[in-house]
Amino acid sequence: MSEQISVEIFDHLVDLAALELNAKQADYLRRQLNNQLASVRELEAVPLDEDIPISLHGVPYEVENSSAPREDEWIPCLDSKAILAQAPQVEDQYIVVPDIPHTTLK
């Protein structure tokens, strides 16, 4: 059985996912991923007619069971301090993060 996710693809995924793994974790996770993909391969064999639509939710949402959009009414949130209190680093009411380096050229 060929491995679908090579080390290179895996490393790319890890970077996209903003993760950083040690070798042991990487090895385990890549193996599990390939095992899962083998299972997923079963889907490819499912006969699917062209006209079979996708289902976003199992239960169909029709007019009868769908909520209407919200009215445009302001409800002030009184907990902005409690929200901010959860942030790891705050200064002058701003949430602080390290810099994002970007190349300025010319």
Partner 1 sequence: MTEYEAVIGLETHIQLNTKTKIFCSCKADSWADEPNTNICPVCCGLPGVLPVLNKAVVEKAVVLANAMHSEIQPLSYFDRKNYFYPDLPKGYQISQFDQSLGKGGYLDLPIPAANSFDKKAYIRRVSIWKLHIEEDAGKTKNAGNRRFIDFNRCGVPLVEMVTGPDLRTADEAAQYLIRLRQLLRWLGISEADMEKAHLRCDANVSIRVKGETVLNPKTEIKNVNSIEAVRDAIATEIDRQVREVEAGHRIEAWTLEWDEDTGSLKKMRSKETEADYRYFREPDLLPIRMTEEWKAKILAGFPELPLQRRARFVEQYGLPEYDADILTGERRLSDYYEEAVKDYGGDPKKVSNWLMNDVLRMINEQGLNPSEMKLTPQALASLLKLVDGGTINISTGKSLLQKVQDTGRTPEAIVSEEGLGKVSDDSAIRTVCEEVLTESPNEVASYKAGKVTLIGWFVGQVMKKMRGKADAAMARSILEELLK
Partner 2 sequence: MDLCDLSALELSRLLGEKKTSAVEILESSLRRIGEVDGRPGSLNAGEITPNDRSRVHAMITLTEDLALEQAREVDRKLAAGEKVGPLAGVPFTVKDIFCVKDTPSTAGSRILANFVAPYTATPVERMVAAGALMIGKVNLDEFTYGSSTESSAFQPSTRNPWDTSRVPGGSSGGSTASVAAYEVPLSLGTDTAGSIRQPAAFCGVVGVKPTYGRVSRYGLIAFASSLDCPGPVSRTVTDAASMLQVIAGPDSHDATAATTPVSDYLSNLEMGVRGMRIGLSPDYFRITFPDGQGGFKEQELPAEIEKAVRHAADVLASMGAEIVEDVPMPNTRYGIPAYFVISRVEAASNLHRYDGVKYGLRTTQNYTDLKSMYKLTRNEGFGLQPKLRILMGMYVSAAQYSEQYYKRALRVRTLIRRDFEAAFDPAGNYRLDALLTPTTPTTAFEMDAVYGDSVLMQYADQLTVPANHAGVPGISLPGGLDSAQLPIGIQLLGADYSEDKLFRVARAYEMATESEDWRKVKPKVLR
Q: Whose Cβ is closer to partner 2: residue 20's or residue 72's? A: 20
Partner from partner 2, partner 1, none binding residue 23, C-beta < 5-8 Å depending on class: none
Quick one: which of 14, 47, 43, 45 has its CA closest to 29?
Answer: 14
How far apart CA 27 and CA 77 sit, in angstroms, is 46
Task: Please report whether residue 93 would count as binding partner 1 according to CB under 8 A.
Answer: yes
Backbone φ and ψ for 30, nearest 5 degrees, come out as -65, -40
**Cβ at position 104, least distance to partner 2 in Å:** 15
Binding site residues, partner 1, CB under 8 A: 16, 18, 56-57, 61, 63, 66-77, 79-80, 83-84, 91-100, 102-106
